[in-house]
Structure formats: C-alpha cells, structure tokens
Amino acid sequence: MLEFVDTAAEAVSRITDGATVLIGGFGNAGQPMELIDALMDSGATGLTVVNNNAGQADAGLALLIKERRVAKIICSFPRQSDSWHFDEAYRAGEIELELVPQGNLAERMRAAGAGIGGFFSPTGYGTQLAEGKEVREIDGKHYVLESPIRGDFALIKAYAADPYGNLVYRKTARNFGPVMATAAAHTIVQVDEVLDEPLNPEHVVTPGIYVDTVVGIPTGSGVKEREEREALAAGRPKPCMATKTAAELAAQK
Amino acid sequence: MSEMSEQTTETADVQAFRSTDAPLTQDELARVIADDIAPGSFVNLGIGQPTTVSNYLSPEKKVTLHTENGMLGFGPQATGDQVDEDLINAGKIPVTELPGASYFHHADSFAMMRGGHLDVCVLGAYQVSATGDLANWSTGKPGAIPAVGGAMDLAIGAKDTYVMMDLFTKKGDRKLMAECTFPLTGVGCVSRIYSDKAVLLLDPSGVVTVRELHGLTFEELQDKHPDVRFEKAGA
C-alpha cells in the first residue's frame, strides 16, 4: 500500500539488520543522500548494499561503510580517489565485495524486477569476472549466465511523485532509479516535489505499482528545476543547453 | 597535419597504406579518429583521452554522443550557470544538453550498447592483442582494489570498438601483444588501434593490417613485435 511520510527517518524505519538494500545514484546524481543519512541514524547493520560505487568522501554510503554497517557491497566501481572508507574496510577484510560490470549490474536488477530467473550476457566472457560461471555459445557468440539481484528495499531519488506514486526523474539523475524500483520488495523514494495532481500518464517513468513509500525532501535538484522552468517561461533556453558543440568550441580556441 | 610529409600510395583510398615521418600528437590522433567516424553515427567516447575526439566531430556530421549513465546527445563540459548536478557524463563531469537529447535509465542504456545499437566506442587500453582482445581495467597488481565500471560492457557493446592509445608505454614496453598479459576486459572485441605511431586494423585471424605509420617504419614495427604478423593495407 502506497504511503506518503513526512520524514526520511520514517521512510527507512522498516529496514532491519541484514537487509539487502539497493541504493540509487551515479556519482552525486540521483543519490538519495537524505535517505542514506536516515538509514545511518536508524542503526540498521549487517546490510548488503547494491550501488554503482562504494561511497565517496565522508558522506552517505561512505559513512555507512566507515561504521561497518555494510557486510557486503555489490558494485561496479569501488575504487575512487575519495573512497578511503571502503579502501580501509576492504583491506581490513571487514567488507565483502562482489564486483559486477555496470551493465550486468543494471540488467541483473532488471531481471529480478521482471521475474527472469537468469540470463546469458556477453559482457565479461573470457574474463576473471566470469570465472566459475556457466558459459553458452549461442549463434556463434559466447555468453555468461548471470543471476538476478533482488532487494528487500530500494532507496532512490526521483524528481517528483504524484498522488498515485507515479514518478518522474531529472536528467542523468534517473540512472539506476527506475530499475531498482522494480527489483525491491519495498521501494522508498525521496522526491523534490510531491504533486497534488496526477502526472501526465504519457510522461510517467516509474509507474506507482513499483513505489511503496514516498517522502518529499527539497534538494538542489529543485532549485535547478525552478531555474529551468523560469527560463523557459521567459522564453530563454534552458540553462543546461549547450550553446556550441565541442568542435565549435575547439575551433574558437 | 598539413606540415607532415605524406607518402600516399592511393590518395583516393583511405584504406591504402600511408606513412609520415613524425608520430601523431594527441590532437592529430583525435582528428584521425573523428574523420573515420561516419556521419550520423551514435558514438560512446570513453573517459580520458578518447573524449578529445569530440573536438573534431563537426556539427554537420550529426554524430550523437552516448554516455552510459543514461543520455544520448550531450554537449561539451558545462561551465558557469550551465552546471547542473543532475546532468553529468560517465566521468562524472557536468555536461550540457544538445537539441534532440534523451535520457533513459541504466538498464536501457546498457541494453542500447549490448544490443549493438551504438556504432562506435572509443576506449583507452593497457594492452590489445593482435586478435582484438582488450585489457584496460586492471593491471593485475596484487593488493589493488578491483574496479571495472562499464569497461567490460563498453568493450563488447558497439558495432566497432576502437582503441586510442600510445603504441608503447612511457618505459618503452609494447602494448600490442600476441596475447595480453594483463587481465582481459573483452575477447576479440577491438577492431582498430589508433595510436601515435600506427593505425592498425585487427581481425580474428591475428593478421594485423597496417593502415598508417607515423615516425616508425614497417620494418621497425615488425622488429618490435616479432610474434605478430603485419600486412600493409592495400598491398
């Protein structure tokens, strides 16, 4: 049953120790920072986390890892210049890592959400990351058997939710959000805007069937979105529009 | 490029072997790759050096750039008011939107690649084998934290995977191998190597077709890679 709650703390209150939590975001775009902070405050531990990365600097997922609340992480790119908390936990043998190519990571969650029991992917064939996995040759090409990744919970950031839980996202902040929403038993969404009116059905990206808990939390995304709407209303181009291509800029120099 | 002495066997045929006296600069190399990308192509440029190829893709060519974090049709790096934290490329650099851009989620983005819808992907490499195996995600150093990102998906995703690299490391070690010694990213996936000293066309047979040499003779190339069979293009 869809619920709208007032705080991030309420939104994550169902997450228990040992849960598998899918966390959206690619870099800072689409990262549900306030939900992750609330998960930190909730005290839940022994978590398995699925995210593209393994936390950056001293915020969000990096802090969960620093406090050893993450027993296992499934991700594609844990090594970044500012992922020192993961580095330390990993080198101390205090976090388990399952490294998955980024496209397989997304597709494994898509499979879970779509009721697929496994799929043959060409990605990773003949590499270390396919070792021990079933390989099949189909029409002369090699594929590796990959299994679904299901979450008990998903924490994602969308831009807006309507009263039916339908979601729209903003630019590349969409990234893993729609896929994770389908792959978790309970999907928790933070949005910049909780709408009073239904979204245009043609514009819905994640239908409300995948959404369980919504909390409205204003972030920088809302500030940018308002600037963009003001510009469009005033007949100016969106601020994020390129005025020139890379080739034109290079030619100017 | 204009300052180079060009010895072209058949000027009309881009596939014919040609050579110049000096290695290509990074900008010249980026231009060579850009010139080889067909008008109307959908292209993914890997993080780092391959990004510079976009500087030479003229707008008239109508090439659309893909970034695996879910966008087609991004423009140059964003500056000033253009910067929007929700609009970044795979290198997590703020970029701009071009007319006709589209956004999609990660599974769609990689399905687009895996499904063979992208025409060209340009990647960096530690090593490439004569049969097109790619090693670009790990040097296999013990103790290093493994990280793969989208490298393995990109390697096998486009219709054509081009590698942009130096032909030799700074220490002078070769990067074109009979077989890669570093952990593989993909098997038989690279179709061309664009390097400072040579443009090479790869084939499952392992016979490497030499299209261009810059500051290196055919004999020197063969000498440095005794276990690889080379043939001049158009020969």
Domain annotation for chain A: domains and CATH numbers: 3-116+149-218 (3.40.1080.10)
Chain segment B111-132, per-residue pLDDT in tens? 999 999 999 999 999 999 999 9
| Chain centre to alpha carbon of residue B1 | 19
pLDDT of the residue at B14: 52
Domain map (residue ranges) of chain B: 13-135+145-232
Instruction: Return the number of other C-beta atoms located less than 10 Å from residue A137's C-beta.
Output: 10
pLDDT digits (tens, 9 = 90+) for A155-202: 999 999 999 999 999 999 999 999 999 999 999 999 999 999 999 999
Catalytic annotation present for B68? yes
Whether the Cβ atoms of residue B214 and residue B23 lie closer than 8 Å to each other: yes
Mean residue pLDDT across chain A: 97
How many Cα atoms are found within 13 Å in the side-chain-facing hemisphere of B6? 14
Residue whose structure tokens are 């032909």: B167
| Alpha helices, H only, chain A | 8-11, 33-42, 61-66, 84-91, 102-114, 177-183, 220-233, 246-252
Distance CA B177, CA B131 (A): 9
Contact yes or no for A247 and B86 at CB 8 A: no
Strand order across the beta sheet in which B134-135 lies: B134-135, B127-129, B176-177
Active-site entry in B68, B85, B97, B179:
B68
Is residue A170 within 8 angstroms of chain B, CB to CB? yes
- Report field, pTM of the whole predicted structure over 0.90: yes
Report how many helices (DSSP H) and strands (DSSP E) chain B contains, helices first.
4, 15
What pLDDT, on a 0 to 100 scale, did the predictor assign at position B6?
44
| Predicted pLDDT at A149 | 98
Nearest to B186 by CA among B234, B138, B115: B138
Provide DSSP, A37-93.
Answer: HHHHHHT--SEEEE-SBS--TTSTHHHHHHTT-EEEEEESB---TT-HHHHHHHHTT
The contacts of residue A135 (CB under 8 Å, 6+ apart) are A125, A142, A143, A144, A145
**Which candidate, B52, B60, B102, places its Cα nearest to that of B77?**
B52
Say which of B75, B144, B152 has its CB closest to residue A245. B75
Secondary structure class of A210 (helix, strand, coil) = helix
3-state DSSP of B183-213: CCCECCCEEEEEECCEEEECCCCCEEEEEEE
Q: In the predicted model, is pLDDT for residue B12 greater than 60?
A: no
Question: Is residue B48 exposed (0-12), middle (13-18) or buried (19+ Cβ within 10 Å)?
Answer: exposed
- When comparing pLDDT for A108 and A251, which is higher? A108
Q: Which residue has the tokens 């919504």?
A: A214
> Is B146 in contact with A173 (Cβ distance < 8 A)?
no
Residues of A with Cβ-Cβ distance to B87 under 8 angstroms: 29, 171-172, 240
Superfamily classification of domain B13-135+145-232: Glutaconate Coenzyme A-transferase (3.40.1080.10)
Taking the mean position of all CA atoms in its chain, how far away is CA B235?
Answer: 25
